């Protein structure tokens, strides 16, 4: 009697990764590349505004409306309308933030980010949704209203202005703390 070979069972992580990429493609219509890790391609469905996590947390707590937001280690990624990454340098200049080291960046056409697990799945590692996208509902992504943004979408100018201010505040607090060097000096709280 010949021994039967059990069918190969895919590694659970591999199927979860493929499932996540499929979810992003089918539920949200986003360009995704199966991993590990799953990558979301920027520039078609959305761009990304990236800033330090502590500045982003303050922004989410008291800032303007945003679209989906994700944490990636010590960075926060705010999804914005496709094409807005190209506008960031001139927008910062217009807001009088040019020449200031804000640690604020954008990822647009041709870029990619690591995808957090879809909402409802356990977050593994440093990538997780803070404000997840909703399947079946087109995300309201911050846009410049003059660039064909939806009337009910969050305003990109307000978002970038608030993000720049929070990045600057965090940078100043870090500098004050570094200079204090534990000498009992407490930095002033900015609100």
- Name the region of 92 (left: φ>0; alpha: ψ -120 to 50; beta: rest): alpha
Q: What is the token pair recorded at 124? A: 């593994």
pLDDT at position 176 over 90: no
Q: What is the mean pLDDT of residues 17-30?
A: 86
Local confidence band at 152 (pLDDT 50, 70, 90 cut-offs): low
- Indicate the SS3 state at residue 182: coil
pTM for the whole structure: 0.81
Report the percent of the chain where pLDDT is more than 70: 79
The mean-pLDDT minimum among 45-49, 76-80, 174-178 falls in 174-178
Q: What is the token pair recorded at 147? A: 């660039």
- What is d(CA 119, CA 102) in angstroms, rounded to the nearest whole number? 30
pLDDT at position 124 over 90: no
Local confidence band at 123 (pLDDT 50, 70, 90 cut-offs): confident
- What is the model's pLDDT at position 174? 86
Q: Is the dihedral of CA 123, 127, 132, 135 positive or negative?
A: negative
Q: Terminal CA-to-CA distance of the chain, rounded, Å?
A: 78
pLDDT at position 29 over 70: yes
The mean-pLDDT minimum among 50-54, 121-125, 169-173, 180-184 falls in 180-184
Torsion angle defined by CA atoms of residues 149, 154, 157 and 161, in that order, rounded to the nearest 10 degrees: -160
- What is the model's pLDDT at position 140? 78
- Indicate the SS3 state at residue 105: strand
pLDDT at position 5 over 60: no
- Name the region of 14 (left: φ>0; alpha: ψ -120 to 50; beta: rest): alpha
- What is d(CA 78, CA 106) in angstroms, rounded to the nearest whole number? 9
The mean-pLDDT minimum among 18-22, 61-65, 142-146 falls in 142-146
Burial of 29-51, coded b for 16+ CB within 10 Å and e otherwise, reads: ebbbebbebbbbbbbebbbbbbb
């Amino acid at each position: 009697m010949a021994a039967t070979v059990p069918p190969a069972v895919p590694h659970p992580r591999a199927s979860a990764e493929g499932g996540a990429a499929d979810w992003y493609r089918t539920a949200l219509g986003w360009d995704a590349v199966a991993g590990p890790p799953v990558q979301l391609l920027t520039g078609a469905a959305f761009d990304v505004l990236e800033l330090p996590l502590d500045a982003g947390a303050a922004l989410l707590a008291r800032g303007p409306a945003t679209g989906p937001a994700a944490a990636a280690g010590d960075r926060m990624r705010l999804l914005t309308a496709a094409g807005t990454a190209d506008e960031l340098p001139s927008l910062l200049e217009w807001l009088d933030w040019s020449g200031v080291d804000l640690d604020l960046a954008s990822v647009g056409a041709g870029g990619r980010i690591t995808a957090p697990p879809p909402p409802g799945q356990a977050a593994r590692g440093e990538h997780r949704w803070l404000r997840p996208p909703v399947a079946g509902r087109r995300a309201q992504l911050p846009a410049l209203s003059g660039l064909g943004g939806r009337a009910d979408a969050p305003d990109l100018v307000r978002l970038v202005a608030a993000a720049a201010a929070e990045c600057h505040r965090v940078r100043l607090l870090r500098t004050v703390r570094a200079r204090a060097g534990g000498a009992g000096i407490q930095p002033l709280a900015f609100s």
